Structure formats: structure tokens, C-alpha cells
Amino acid sequence: MPTDTRLKTQPNLATARVKRGASTEAVHAGRAENYAYNALNVPVVQTATYTFKDTQDLCDFQEARMWGGARGRTEYGRYGNPTVSAVEAKLAALDHGEDAVLFSSGMNAVTTVLLAMLTSGTHVIIGDDCYRRTRQFCKTYLKKFGIETTVVPMGDFAALEAAIRPNTRLIVSESPTNPYLRVVDLVRLTEIAKRHGVKTLIDSTFASPINQCPLDFGIDLVLHSATKYLSGHNDLLAGVIVGKSGLIDSLRQALGVLGGVSDPHTASLLLRGLKTLALRVERQNQNALAVAQFLETHPKVKRVWYPALPSHPDYEIARAQMLGCGGVVSFEIDGALEETSRFVDAMEIPLIAPSLGGVESLIEQPALMSYYELSTEERLAVGIKDNLVRFALGVEDTADLLADLAQALDVIDENADKR
């Protein structure tokens, strides 16, 4: 198996992508010159409010804030925290943005963007492969505010352009998507959006900044569920939006009103996880590619979805704009719901859980995890087959993961023989 899973990139992107290596940025970006007590790590500033020396100190702060010169200083915890600010600086550097704003969850991040950028009478376009809760929020909650939503098929740029109206303000997509790892042509998306004066938001959670930086392609805002790869240890909830400073400033103001702030302890855990981001993602890229290649040749697997495989519909797009395809592999077992469940139960290393991006491998049968309440017909209508498995690879040894897959797939054959 090859150990270098980095995909080829367009020559003009290879030199423009980073000034320093991603692992160096993950460790050092956003670091201040000195911390209290000469601490190596960013202190956890555990406070809900901030004090002023005297009235003049307060008035000086208020004047500076009025003219945009009070960054790094605030009066109340909902409007900022030094530990949180350190995370935001690091995440902005990793995603090649001017600024970033941290939220209490990825869902809070996307809903804040939508509420901040859309008003009654405006229109948003989202891909049909977007996270189901994002689609739910757009189609139900935004509707209550007089905001219309159009859902377009993933990768259908003719449908996308036809859906744009004079009141369209935002196009929302994921890349790669969940669970089929579809990859959006970011260059083409940006060209269409800019021609019509529409802002773009890409959920890049499945890629992480190590594998893809959508801002390099002209995307306006990048979203991550920091719960996943950025944290890497399945022990916190957080979300982040990265982009140009003007847009981020407006989102930070909205965050102060809507209140979905991240606390300093969560920010500290996230800072610690980010230092190993590049190392973890490199290993997860390797594990996922090896697993995808193994599964594609196995007789008990009908189809594998992983963008680094030539069989994937977006293989060429992934080669052009990604340095790796991440740690999630989706595949279809050659069997029905019951056979697929037996396979999942037979796996010994991964735990059954609905998340991804952590050091532990996780596995799920989407039909029984996120879509349990739907009938088979309803699941098929939204593209979720009963025999679909999503395998989120961790950092375990590749050989152990492949051996575990082999024995679990043999369980399907053993049960077939008994019938």
C-alpha cells in the first residue's frame, strides 16, 4: 500500500497554498509573544467579566471600540476571551483566512451565519447533499422568517445557476459531503457565485484545513465542525467560521447577540488537539485510502465511495483541489439491512457512533443511526440505502484495521452458508 496519500494539485495552487507547513502552523500559528508567568501554553482565562482600572480606563476602551481599535480587550465574556481568541488566530492561519470566529458547535456556527447574512425576503441555495440538520434549518426555521430556500442536486451547476434569483444572498455546500464524499468544483462554484454577486459558504469539516483550503479558490466563508478533525479526540463541541475580516467582524457581532459562544476550557482543549492536527490527518488519510482500496476488491462489497479512488465520480476534481481525501470511507455491503448490521456488529476495533475525525475509528449504518425513523422507501428518497456503511477511520495501525474488516466481512459469508 502506498504511504503517501497526498493527491496531486494544480501547479498554481501548490506554491500559493501555505507560507509555512501545515504542521508548523498547527503548532505555532496564533501564538502570542509572552503569556502570563512565562507559560509555554495559552492560559485558560476563566472569567465571565473583565475589570477596568478606573473610569478613564473604561472611557478609553469605549472610544477605542467605537473606532475598531479595541481588539484583544473587552468588558464581558460573551464578547471575547483570550483563550478563545488564540484558537481563532490559529484556525484563521490554518485555513488561510484573515480572521475566524469560534462557536459553541458547528450547528451554531452555520445557523448564526444564516441568520446574520439573510433577512426577510431573501433567498438561499443549498446542496441536496448538505448536512441534514442544515437543510432542516433552512427549510423549516428560515421559512418562519420569510427566507426562501432552494435545494439543488450536488454537482449540477446548471441547476445551481438556474436557481439564482435577484434576492439570492448565499450559496451553501459541503465538500466533501456526507456520506458519499462528493467533492464540489470550488473554482466553478466561485465563478458562478461571483458573476451573480452571491456569497458562498463551504462546510469543509470532512476535509480539514490539512486537505483543503476553500478560501484559496475564492470561497467567501469556510465552516468546520471543530468537534471532528480539529479537536480530534471526541471530547468537545465547537464550530468555526473562517474568512475575510469584514465578514468575520459582522459574524462576531451576531455571535454577541445570539450568544452561542465557546467557553475557555473548550478552547483550551481545542488548542491542544490542533497541535497534532496535521499528524493525525496524515495518518487518517493513509488508513482511509488503504481501507478504500481493500474494500473495492472484496466480493462482499458492492461499491466504495472515496474521492481518492478513480471509481469515485469526483476523482478528478479531488485531484485538482485536495491534498488528501480525509478519513471517512462509505461503502455498500452486498446484502440487505440485516447482513449489513451483522457486519457492523462483527467489527472489533471501531465503535458504533455517529461522529468522525477523532483518534478512535467509528462506524455506523446511517439507515439505523441518523435515519432510523424513516422507512426504507423514505431513506432511499434521500439517498440512504439500507446496506450503506460509513467508516470514520482513526489513527490505529492500518494492518489491524484491514484484518478487522476481513474477519467481519467473513461473518457475512458464514451466515450465508448457514442459510
List the catalytic residues: 78, 131, 203, 228
Residue 220 CA, distance from chain mean position: 15
Measured in Å, how far apart are the chain's first and last C-alpha atoms?
A: 36
Under 8 Å between Cβ of 79 and 48: no
Q: Are strands 239-243 and 351-352 parallel, antiparallel or unpaired?
A: unpaired
Under 8 Å between Cβ of 247 and 220: yes
b/e for 154-179, b at 16 or more Cβ within 10 A? Answer: bbeeeebeebbeeebbbbbbbbbbbb
Could you give the 3-state DSSP secondary structure of residue 16?
coil
> How many residues does the structure list for the chain?
419
Mention every residue, 6+ apart, whose C-beta is less than 8 A from residue 356: 206, 228, 229, 327, 328, 362, 390, 392
Q: With CA atoms as reference, report the closest residue to 149 among 171, 133, 166, 180.
A: 171
Ramachandran area for residue 152 (φ above 0: left; ψ -120 to 50: alpha; else beta): beta
How far is residue 337's CA from residue 352's CA, in Å, rounded to a whole number? 16
DSSP-H helix ranges across 78-167: 82-94, 106-117, 132-136, 142-144, 157-163
Q: Which three cell numbers stand for residue 159?
A: 441547476
Segment holding 210, helix H or strand E? helix 208-211
Q: With CA atoms as reference, report the closest residue to 261 among 131, 83, 132, 134.
A: 83
Under 8 Å between Cβ of 261 and 103: yes
